[in-house]
Amino acid sequence: MKFKPDLQAKLDELATETGRPTDELVEDVVAGYFDELARTRDTLNSRYDDLKSGRVKPISRDEVVAHFREKSDAARRTPPGS
């Protein structure tokens, strides 16, 4: 498999650091990607089912914006390190 030079350099560096062949590292990354993709799909399907069944109610855009504004405002009011 061909990679862009900067990505190939990172892969080669990791192979050197770990003593593992590059093809083995790529295989691990791809396997991990598919595992994460499956978990994400399961989560999204579950959330969709919850919405469709009425178990949870959707929240409006305005509610989301208000929530994050409040959270951001609270973070600004809190002094660093406290």
- Label residues 15-51 b or e (16+ Cβ within 10 Å = b): beeeeeeeeeeeeeeeeeeeeeeeeeeeeeeeeeeee
Rounded distance between C-alpha atoms, residue 42 and residue 59, angstroms: 21
pTM for the structure as a whole: 0.61
Could you report the per-residue pLDDT of 40-78, keeping only the tens digit for each? 999 999 999 999 999 999 999 999 999 999 999 999 998
